[in-house]
Chains A and B, each alone.
Chain A
């Protein structure tokens, strides 16, 4: 099973995008809103790329992203508040915890062959269960926000992973995205990747060949929940507080939407979808929300957003990645590169 080289023409295009992303904050320095938006885009791109492993490749409609993000955030934040442990270490402990919980839940779920809508429902329930637990668990959660310590400048600021600008968060997310991208690429052309793709299509047929589909799905879930836990650690620091509302079904849904709209199983699909959809949604929110003040139309942007999703579902059911690919190939033949 051959893995294409990491530096083919497609990935060079990705590198160009990456280079643009790296210098972007230099131009946006004064505008914190746009930087926050860019960081959010990257955050969702990381989550959706990780989801691509379990959802896109293995075809398991996992709606539990926010559960792992929340666990990561609470672990990292609580370790910082209670034990003054830096989030740079805490986020990995949070990620391990999220992965552990995912494994505990994955073993019976996959063991009893819970799949399709039932898997989606079970994983989505996980988010709500954790929200309820953290709402009642007054020692680490509870209904009031718990603020993380803050220091505006100097090494203390780095130790706390708390900054008065979004630039460092932007680069942290960018670094995470690159790592998740490489993981995705490596898995896609590995034995695990082929089995995930195959079991996403026909689980019985793949078992006939001697593939342990439960183990493969569990591995995919573990990688995905670990990444989501890492993101969660940073997420808490970006917002500067901990609250049970981090366990948000909306966030899980958003991740799945990006994964599907981007193109199931396509490595760069979720990133494209995140760039387009998240920034587009924010643009709609900014431009439409204030358009009809006092008319109760604050949710108008969501209607337009939903409309766009329906259009994509109707005309590009395989996601926007194939569309971009065609455009890219045309561009390549136009420029004359082979």
Chain B
């Protein structure tokens, strides 16, 4: 996955300025940054939900600039939106089936059973309405929904948002296990810098719509700027 000179925004309001970065296959990369830096816009632009004004996107050797969201799902890019956002009045199993919307054939490959093995709690609650789930279960449902289409790359938008610390631990353990088991490329967006640096091998810092720093997670943890502004040390 490669992003080159990306400019994007909503209508006439520019949000991202000349953002370039890359993620290698099976690599986990985190983008951290404060509120309003443009992190979610970045993911939405890659997923084709927000139109980019200029720049180029490459995935798996294809130029995917301006590709529609359903085509991107078919190519193997999945986005788990901020807060998970499962469909509250649909059952857990129907939520998962919605994940196969653009790639119906995957349902025949037993992907639901595989996901139920990884998320046994979702299997127990398969027929319940998603609104009856707890916050952690909803986030798991959203991640599972993103994985139904068997993506090569999954983009996670703040999976720790609004969860109790012990649940954040649990979610991150699952993400880590999933990545290793399924060989996923992960693009993680997170405000919770500790978790992001732990999971990712490399990290970019996005401030005011520009990438201001990049480096390996170890380098980042050592950086004064990160320590002061993000880790509160």
Contact = CB atoms under 8 A, between A and B. Distances in A.
Contact of A211 (B79, B90, B101): B101
A208 B79 contact: yes
A204 B80 CA distance: 11
Given A194-B98, A195-B98, A209 B90 contact: no
B144 to A, nearest CB: 12
| Size bin of chain B's contact surface | 20 to 34
A13 B146 CA distance: 39
A210 B85 contact: no
A115 to B, nearest CB: 15
Interface in B91-150: 94, 97-99, 101-104, 145-146, 149
Contact of A198 (B78, B87, B103): B87
A201 interface: yes
B69 interface: yes
A197 B90 contact: yes
Q: Is the interface of A mostly helix, strand, loop or mixed?
A: helix
Interface string A197-229: 110011011111111100000000000000000
Contacts of B90: 194, 197-198, 201
A10 interface: no
B102 A210 contact: yes
B89 A209 contact: no
B97 A210 contact: no
A195 B101 CA distance: 8
Interface string B141-172: 00001100100000000000000000000000
11 contacts: A191-B104, A201-B88, A201-B90, A204-B85, A206-B98, A208-B80, A208-B81, A209-B73, A209-B99, A209-B102, A210-B70
Given A208-B47, A209-B69, 10 more contacts: A194-B97, A202-B85, A204-B85, A205-B87, A206-B87, A208-B49, A208-B78, A209-B145, A210-B74, A211-B70
Interface of A: 1, 191, 194-195, 197-198, 201-202, 204-212
